[in-house]
């Protein structure tokens, strides 16, 4: 039985998702968090009482993206351990890099989300 990782297009897509998914998710969290805080704490958003629900939903969504990016790096790492054709070692190197990047940016996403949830609201 042929696995999906043996397909070069799937392998390339997983590599790039593992490398760029978590950093772009964290960037989206920062940008979207800034803009919804700016809009909710302005005069037009004065009727909103809390920022916790949008911050929690945004944190959960981008954490899911970072986790799936890390899992795709793990799948490639395990596939190269089981004998996926990788003559130059590129897949193994990028999967190892994706594991490190995914862990770092998942921690950053969780720290950013915890900071947003710990603050009281608009001041």
- What is the DSSP annotation of 7-47? SHHHHHHHHHHHHHHHHHHHHHHHHHHHHHHHHHSSGGGTT
Question: Band of the pLDDT at 2, cuts 50, 70, 90?
Answer: very low
If one compares 103 and 5, the residue with the highest pLDDT of the two is 103
Q: Taking residues 89-117, what's their average pLDDT?
A: 92
Residue-range domain boundaries for the chain: 8-39+50-118
Global pTM reads 0.85
Structure confidence by residue, pLDDT tens digits, 30-81: 999 888 878 777 776 666 666 778 888 999 999 999 999 999 999 988 888 8
Give yes or no for residue 103 having a pLDDT over 90.
yes
Question: Between the CA of residue 100 and those of 30, 34, 66, 83, what are the distances in Å?
Answer: 21, 27, 12, 22
* C-alpha–C-alpha distance, residues 120 and 123, integer Å: 8
């Amino acid at each position: 039985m042929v696995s999906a990782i043996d397909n070069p297009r799937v392998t390339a897509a997983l590599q790039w998702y593992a490398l760029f998914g978590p950093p772009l998710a964290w960037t989206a969290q920062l940008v979207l968090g800034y803009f919804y805080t700016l809009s909710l704490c302005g005069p037009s958003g004065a009727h909103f009482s809390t920022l916790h629900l949008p911050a929690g939903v945004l944190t959960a969504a981008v954490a899911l993206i970072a986790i799936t990016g890390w899992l795709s790096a793990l799948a490639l790492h395990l596939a190269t351990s089981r004998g996926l054709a990788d003559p130059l070692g590129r897949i193994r190197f990028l999967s190892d890099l994706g594991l490190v990047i995914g862990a770092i940016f998942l921690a950053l996403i969780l720290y950013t989300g915890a900071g947003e949830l710990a603050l009281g609201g608009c001041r």
